[in-house]
Structure 1
């Protein structure tokens, strides 16, 4: 099995904190997810997560006007300069202070950054040149007496306005002007969170946290006070920046939002349409047309605070981010419809690629697009296990609320609910390979409950364990059920047999997880002491033991009193999964590592670190002594000043409440893996972790993986060979070069009459690559008969060879089966639709003919 998995995508988390923004073309939204950035393509309905990571959670992001340069800044002020189109980190930089806002100037030449009470303007690095110091400071601007909250550039990039907690806004020029002093806009009674220029720059709008919106205009003379007259009409100056700086500004109009018991959380402004968008702490947002302050729209999108708002360049789509819910919305305000509505699990994610979380929700994710397409909210407590039926049209879930539910993925409804005679909490779950029987293990009574899916009745209760049942698994090939418990034993049950005599396998520590090999002949068991034990199911004996304590250990919590090497907590795996060929095991636990083992040799093939986010506990090997003070570690203190208001700091939840706002009870999350699973094709695996659903794959479009390459093998040589009609040679050369587009061109150029001969003469070393390519081509290409001909001739020519190596080719067979089943389903659906349409047309034709006959008969009757 290949171990060259690379990070592919992040599902389950769509927004964490920081600002969200649209790309300049308005088709995509950039959203910070922890220490990563996800890009949501709203036109093609896809999402991708950029492969780089910041040291800690991202606090602010900015994208250049030409979409080439992306800057991400974490909570400590450490920034990454990224080539946005390639997702490659170009430079690391440290601002040495927390950054709340970072913005490119409209011309893209400068970057403005807020640093506590100061504003710094830097020249934009040139990503085309290898500069010794990519960040060059242009100027530092001072004058505010408290933290600067936001920035806004003028359209010509000659000046900008900054707002602060000191209840003022200040206007600065990019370059010094004669006799110019920064203008101060005072009069608000709370922190000013936003200031904006309209397109003609004759006015300035300021928004404060208490809901006051001031309109500022030119003040003709010193004696004139505030006025509510019409806005003075003056011709637009040629040099906007200089005109703004030379103008004496005064308050023209004061408007108030009058939202009871709420605060303004964020705001944004669209210059072209003069739209002011304001989000409140209660989850309500509104649109106002300026300068008349006409309310166009008000809507409540959630019950929690809106953390960030963005508007696309055309002014049609609004994007909202809610930190506490982990929610991302894109709203088309004119048609009042959702363009995108995604929400991850706002607590820990427990299972995988249907996922269940501690919030009681079951979500099903599209691994290709990265979007959640259905959410089931019937459970009222944390989800302990989810599993698909073999056909994939039924999803089962077990929960601590004492129910097991079956969901129909065709009609998206809960069609069956299984309960126990007396209320218990289910801590583990498994479904039979046929999908006819489901079982769940109890954490209270230590019993295993068996139900029939068809009737919904309880078939049997299996007793024998003396501790909570931690894991259940059905054998893929037989009728055996394996159960692991905290009583340090594993039992094998013959569910369909009459005998209930079970001989337990005893261990030296509590059993946490178990998994059957795909052929059902081997059972892998992990225990609390960090060991992975392999059992021969047929002979009932132990085969080997893998010591995993040193492999899974790593990472120290902020409040740990001992080093990571000396700490025994968490040094075990709580989830196991076999690869499709049964040669490797992937394991994850309460650690930052996911490990792949070779079963035969018991050695580590590769270790993956799920996150490098230092905002999480357990990602650092050694604590920084400089962060230690008399009161403890400084990282445990909330110094971000987000809850500055009294009503934001108050916790009104009842003691012991698990639903609702849990963030006030746990500030630092811990890096851990709750569940790991491998895809049936073996080309990808996923881990349900604190950061979300991490997907790693061996996608050939991302990684260049040539096979048997020499200096004479080039794309031009392949095309020349194809032009000479040497189809077999060109196909082999394309597989050796392993470029997907080149393989597709050669594959589609082969005449169908030569397929049989080429399939017979193809060397066996390329059969796996051919079948895998055909499986993908079936799913994406229109050449259905051509692909089926290749499959038929390859299996006829090399069937005996493939049968003897069925385990090695298991992942390829699964991918091929999936492609063929999808094709059959699509063709049958198309035929059914055509039959229905033809039947309808025939019925309509017969009805028209019968009406014509009746009309002719009536005419004959009316004739004298």
Structure 2
């Protein structure tokens, strides 16, 4: 990552204040720390610690690419996180010191991806599983920070291991499972070897997605939608069920409770409490999209569930009712806009929906859903009562929405662009707006009469633009990595800056006093610029995906950036308005 290192060298860093987002696609990515006070989960290349009581967040930053798996040690001293990397590069495992919130060790052996991690019950060892391009299991000594031994995860090349689980009481026993492989491993520390025993499932051929065990039995959730119960000592299959009603889209996550009952999450969003003897459902609830995480708090009287819809739910064991505690986008956030003059509300759009948020509390206030439509860009009218959005539905259009006390109403649709409308900015008098498009044109519109006034054309796919506060200039950027200043009246280029050394610039916004502007793009860096000098003053490093949009609130206190992994990040802006 030499380009990032070069661009950030010697430049002051932005302070990250809060994050809206949860990568619900990381299996077992949501955890509760043994202190019972914090949720732990990944987003992009950051591991987030969120206090359950008041939502206060802390951030563990050190990964260079998206976090792919996470584990918390039984006594809570350590957190481990693994990442993905580009083909041909090794993927890092980081062990974090929980008390200090610092990196304890960085382990580098696996190729391209770390698939899964598990701590031994007494915090002595960590077992790591490489992804499909690696296929190995490694046992690490946490005290020495060195690998003890390793082995191919599967007995044959056709097998692909997907998950590992340590014994609850024995530091020398763990289980691995996946497609064509289910093994119990014993660590021989003296000879620095791990020795596998193949589990015997007879004629039953299953792909195991998840495992949970109670030191007598291994419970294996399968992509076929049933659960296999295997004797840990003998490795023999005991039972398999449910027989009649299997879990739709497979069993994706399992947890065994002290009572002996199982919590089961399926790929279709069904979440059940069932018996571990006959797999009969005791309680059931349907959640939005597939269940990917079940995290027990303490003995399991309370538990948290994460889904592919990037939502978190809280449950109590007694009533098994879902309380939605966190929502976020589960796909790329295309645009963000802060309500003019208030600095309290902001809106984001992603795929089929537009969401309204409170800036200080990461809580969703309103959602506009437009089926079969992709919303790429949006802006508030200055009065705060209307949102304007750019959308695709076979044809390219710019739409004006009126916000009403109990909903919203479409006012007008305008068509002239030949390709995706990537950005919209409204003039302060609410009479004009300018749109950028990947057709190589920026159009200035009259939004009283709903007609086009002026067009700017350049040899780039425009991704973003904004008016200078005095509104005699617009600033644009896009795939050519340049930041360009233009005259509004005649469409002439005034100035051009080198905006990024790698990748397109997708988001751009300017401060109310016109002294600074901010950019973000495919290089995953948030940059703060001096408008007159044309130089970078600060850089923000935390996004795991390409930055899609960026906004600065009118009081110059807060900067919000969004990215392709669904994250919304709030930063402290380093240049407050002078009084």
TM-score, normalising length from structure 1? 0.53
1:525 pairs with 2:525: no
Partner of 1:37: 47
Q: Structure 1, residues 772-794: CA drift from partner, whole Å, max 9, x if none?
A: 9xxxxxxxxxxxxxxxxxxxxxx
Instruction: Name the counterpart of 1:577.
Output: 509
| Conserved 8 A contact 2:93-2:114 | no
Deviation at 1:418, TM superposition (A): 0.8
Contact 1:152/1:161, CA 8 A, preserved across alignment: yes
Partner of 2:501: 553
After superposition, the C-alpha distances for 1:158-188 in whole angstroms (9 at most, x for unaligned) are: 44341323655433444579xx986543114
Q: Residues of 2 paired with 1:541 and 1:185: CA distance? A: 71
Partner residue in 2 for 1:406? 402
Match of 2:321 in 1: 336
2:297 to 312, 315, 325: 312
**How far apart in 2 are the matches of 1:337 and 1:605?**
46
Cα–Cα, structure 1 residues 101 and 331, in superposed 2: closer, same or farther, change >3 Å? same
The question of 1:676 aligning with 2:571 is answered no
- CA deviation profile, 1:716-752 (whole Å, cap 9, x unmatched): xxxxxxxxxxxxxxxxxxxxxxxxxxxxxxxxxxxxx
Deviation string, structure 1 residues 563-582 (Cα, Å, up to 9, x no partner): xxxxxxx4xx5644322433
CA drift at 1:609:
5.5
State the Cα distance separating 1:56 from its structure 2 match.
Answer: 2.6
In 1, the alpha carbon distance for the partners of 2:561 and 2:301 equals 37
Name the structure 2 match of 1:383: 375
Q: Distance in 1 between matches of 2:528 and 2:280?
A: 60
Q: Which residue of 2 aligns with 1:689?
A: 563
The correspondence for 2:533, drawn from 586, 595, 601, is 601
CA distance in 2, matches of 1:13, 1:166: 27
More relative contact order, 1 or 2 (CA 8 Å, 6+ apart):
2
Does structure 1 conserve the Cα–Cα contact (< 8 Å) formed by 2:255 and 2:294? no
Aligned to 1:149: 162
Looking at structure 1, the residues matched to 324 and 275 of structure 2 have their Cα atoms a distance apart, in angstroms, of: 22
Q: How far off its partner does 1:607 sit?
A: 4.7
Is the CA contact (8 Å cut-off) linking 2:560 and 2:568 kept in structure 1? yes
Query: 1:93 Cα deviation (Å)?
Result: 1.5
Q: Alignment RMSD, CA only?
A: 4.2
1:491 alignment counterpart: none
Take 2:509 and 2:36, find their aligned partners in 1: how far apart are those partners?
41
For residue 257 of structure 1, report the CA deviation from its aligned partner: 4.7
If you compute each CA radius of gyration, which structure gives the higher value, 1 or 2? 1
Structure 1 residues 360-759: aligned runs within 5 Å: 360-378=352-370, 380-388=372-380, 390=382, 394-400=385-391, 402=397, 403-408=399-404, 411=405, 413-420=406-413, 427=421, 429-431=424-426, 433=428, 459-465=448-454, 485-487=455-457, 514-518=465-469, 520=470, 523-526=473-476, 530-533=482-485, 545-549=494-498, 551-555=499-503, 570=504, 575-589=507-521, 591-608=523-540, 611=543, 671=546, 673-691=547-565, 692-697=567-572
Name the CA distance, whole Å, in 2 between partners of 1:384 and 1:144. 44
Q: Distance in 2 between matches of 1:446 and 1:95?
A: 48
Residue of structure 2 equivalent to 1:267: 253
Can you give the 5+ residue segments of structure 2 that lack an aligned partner in the other structure? 1-10, 85-89, 339-345
Q: Which moved more, 1:256-265 or 1:21-30?
A: 256-265
Deviations 1:260-302 (A, max 9, x none): 6944242322341223223333333332122343311233323
1:16 to partner: Cα distance = 4.2
Q: 1:526 to 1:112 in 2, by over 3 A?
A: closer
- In the alignment, structure 1 residue 93 sits paired with structure 2 residue 111: no
Match of 1:714 in 2: none
When residues 15 and 170 of structure 1 are mapped into structure 2, their CA distance, relative to the original with a 3 A threshold, is: closer
Q: Tell me the residue number matched to 2:199.
A: 185
Distance, in Å, in 1 between the alignment partners of 2:278 and 2:247 is: 25
Aligned 1:772-783 pairs, distance under 5 A: none
CA distance in 1, matches of 2:301, 2:94: 31
Cα–Cα, structure 1 residues 19 and 77, in superposed 2: closer, same or farther, change >3 Å?
Answer: farther
Instruction: Determine if contact 1:161/1:195 at 8 Å carries over to the other structure.
Output: no
Q: CA, structure 1 residues 119+74, in 2 after alignment: closer, same or farther (shift >3 Å)? A: same
Tell me whether 1:24 sits opposite 2:34 in the alignment: yes
SS of residue in 2 equivalent to 1:96: strand
Query: Which residue does the alignment assign to 1:456?
Result: none
**Aligned with residue 137 of structure 1, among 147, 155, 170:** 147
Describe the shift of the 1:161–1:599 C-alpha distance in structure 2 as closer, same or farther (beyond 3 A). closer
Does residue 5 (structure 1) correspond to residue 48 (structure 2)? The answer is no
Residue 103 of structure 1 and its aligned partner are, at CA, apart by 1.2
Q: 1:517 to 1:119 in 2, by over 3 A?
A: closer
Q: Which residue of 2 aligns with 1:350?
A: 335
**What per-residue deviation string (whole Å, max 9, x for no partner) do you get for residues 187-210 of structure 1?**
142133444433xx4444444433
CA shift, 1:346, in A, is: 1.5
Which position in structure 2 is the counterpart of 1:808? 578
Corresponding residue SS for 1:351: strand
Tell me if 1:72 matches 2:68. no
Partner of residue 171, structure 1: 184
Listed one character per residue, the Cα deviations across residues 801-822 of structure 1 (whole Å, up to 9, x for unaligned) are xxxxxx722xxxxxxxxxxxxx
Aligned counterparts of 1:158 and 1:369: Cα–Cα separation in 2? 42
* Structure 1 unmatched runs, 5+: 126-133, 218-243, 452-458, 466-484, 489-507, 556-569, 617-670, 700-767, 773-806, 810-864
State the match for 1:294 in structure 2: 280
**Following the alignment from structure 2 to structure 1, what is the Cα–Cα distance between the partners of residues 213 and 435?**
62
Question: How far does residue 214 in structure 1 lie from its aligned partner after superposition?
Answer: 3.9
Match of 1:50, SS? strand
Structure with higher strand content = 2
The one-character-per-residue Cα deviations of 1:48-96 (angstroms, maximum 9, x if unpaired) are 3625142332221112234332211113541122233554333321122
Q: 1:387/1:118 Cα in 2 relative to 1: closer, same or farther (>3 Å)?
A: closer
Secondary structure, counterpart of 1:407 in structure 2: strand
Q: In the alignment, is the contact (CA less than 8 A) between 1:47 and 1:369 conserved in 2? A: no
1:799 alignment counterpart: none
Cα pair 1:38 1:48 within 8 Å, conserved: yes
